[in-house]
């Protein structure tokens, strides 16, 4: 599980004043909503009170040492307990305020920061970031009032300068396994700059789409890699995922099915299942997870009969 912080801070690190936000930037609130939607959000009691209601479409955990019940929210007595309550989820978001950030920042792997340009008066602050965070993505919004920047940082062991393409690929794959998509993207980009390789291009395409790049860029890259190596299982899996994520669901599902016929195993079946293409198991009297059903299901897929 990725533990992330999401915050908006001014150039002088102010995040709050008099129990509220010192600015009004609708696009920042929209971004907050889209990043956290469907996930668990963890916040301090004072931040909850400044919002005044649970955040819709999200599991709300409020930290309080003395409060007992808040309708629509779960209560946690400390930060580790709040994080443990979200165990098993893909990503959990620490949403402030200053007191909570102080304790939780050292536990975070990813930061989504909106930097609001200007110096503000305030009474809540984002503490200095712990060591090891590297900026992996930045967008500038000079036309918001006030102007702002959106920055994503991830805690990484630095990619050593002088690393060769193979080391970068290995590091990128480790990052992919840990769902650190921005780090994976950076490693694969550097590896490709040193030595082009279709498999790495397809890994890069998947990291790109998972880290917010346009679907088209990722799709073109994944499809080019597939043209070069149409039977490569890793490329087939990445291409199927990228096509689905970029909105080409039926083409993506066909690609995944081709992968199964080419010998792809549980990763392909899991991806197909995630997209809701599950059919009845071959032996209906046995559970879907029974080894006979699993084996027969895979066999039928490979024979293009399922
Ligand atoms: N710009 C941003 O991104 C952003 C984000 C969030 C909030 N804010 C702003 O930040 C300000 C609020 O921040 P704040 O620092 O004053 O308060 P806060 O961190 O939101 O809440 C503090 C309260 O949370 C509980 N708490 C904190 N740490 C805890 C822990 N480790 N274990 C259990 N409970 C814990 C305590 O509640 P009890 O007193 O009930 O025990 C504490 O009094 C507001 O102005 C808000 O608008 C800004």
209-228 per-position pLDDT tens digit: 988 777 899 999 999 999 99
65 lines ligand 1 (CB under 6 A): yes
State whether the beta carbon of 122 lies less than 6 angstroms from ligand 1: no
Judge if the beta carbon of residue 103 lies within 6 A of ligand 1.
Answer: yes
Task: Name the stretches of the chain with pLDDT < 50.
Answer: none
Q: What is the pLDDT of residue 20?
A: 95
Distance 204 CA to ligand 1 centre (A): 38
Q: What pLDDT does residue 298 have?
A: 73
What is the predicted pLDDT for the residue at 254? 94
Output the CATH code of domain 2-155. Answer: 3.40.430.10
63 Cβ inside 6 Å of ligand 1: yes
The pLDDT of residue 281: 66
pLDDT value for 182: 84
- Nearest atom of ligand 1 to the alpha carbon of 17: 45
Q: Tell the residue nearest (CA) to atom 3 of ligand 1.
A: 7
User: What is residue 95's predicted lDDT score, i.e. its pLDDT?
Assistant: 97
Is residue 80 in contact with ligand 1, taking CB distance under 6 Å? no
Which residue ranges make up each domain of the chain? 2-155, 165-275, 277-306
> Would you list the DSSP string of 238-303?
HHHHHHHHTT-HHHHHHHHHHHHHTT--HHHHHHHHHTT-----SSTTS-TTSHHHHHHHHHHHHT
With a 6 Å cutoff on the Cβ, whether 77 touches ligand 1 is yes
Residue 247 beta carbon below 6 angstroms from any ligand 1 atom: no
Q: What is the four-CA torsion angle of 129, 132, 137, 138, rounded to 10 degrees?
A: 40
104 Cα to the center of ligand 1, angstroms: 11
Instruction: Give the per-residue pLDDT at 275.
Output: 78
CATH 1.25.40.10 fits 165-275, yes or no: yes
């Amino acid at each position: 599980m990725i533990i992330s912080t999401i915050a908006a801070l001014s150039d002088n690190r102010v995040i709050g004043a008099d129990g509220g936000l010192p600015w009004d930037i609708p696009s920042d609130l929209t971004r907050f909503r889209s990043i956290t939607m469907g996930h668990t959000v963890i916040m301090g009691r004072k931040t909850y009170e400044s919002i005044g209601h649970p955040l819709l479409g999200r599991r709300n955990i409020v930290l309080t040492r003395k409060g007992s019940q808040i309708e629509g929210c779960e209560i946690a007595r400390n930060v580790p307990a709040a994080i443990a309550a979200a165990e098993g989820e893909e990503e959990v978001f620490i949403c402030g305020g200053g007191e909570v950030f102080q304790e939780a920042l050292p536990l975070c792997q990813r930061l989504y920061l909106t930097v609001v340009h200007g110096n503000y008066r305030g009474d809540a602050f984002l503490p200095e970031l712990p060591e090891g965070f590297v900026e992996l993505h930045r967008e500038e919004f000079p036309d918001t009032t006030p102007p702002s920047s959106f920055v994503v940082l991830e805690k990484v062991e630095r990619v050593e300068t002088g690393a060769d393409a193979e080391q970068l690929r290995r590091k990128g794959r480790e990052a992919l396994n840990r769902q650190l998509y921005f780090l994976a993207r950076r490693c694969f980009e550097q590896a490709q700059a040193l030595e082009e390789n279709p498999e790495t291009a397809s890994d890069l395409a998947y990291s790109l789409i998972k880290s917010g790049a346009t679907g088209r860029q990722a799709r073109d890259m994944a499809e080019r890699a597939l043209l070069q190596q149409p039977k490569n299982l890793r490329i087939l899996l990445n291409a199927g995922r990228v096509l689905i994520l970029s909105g080409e669901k039926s083409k993506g599902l066909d690609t995944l099915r081709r992968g199964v016929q080419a010998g792809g195993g549980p990763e392909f079946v899991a991806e197909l299942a995630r997209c809701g293409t599950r059919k009845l198991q071959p032996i209906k009297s046995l559970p879907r997870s029974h080894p006979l059903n699993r084996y027969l299901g895979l066999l039928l897929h490979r024979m293009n009969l399922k």
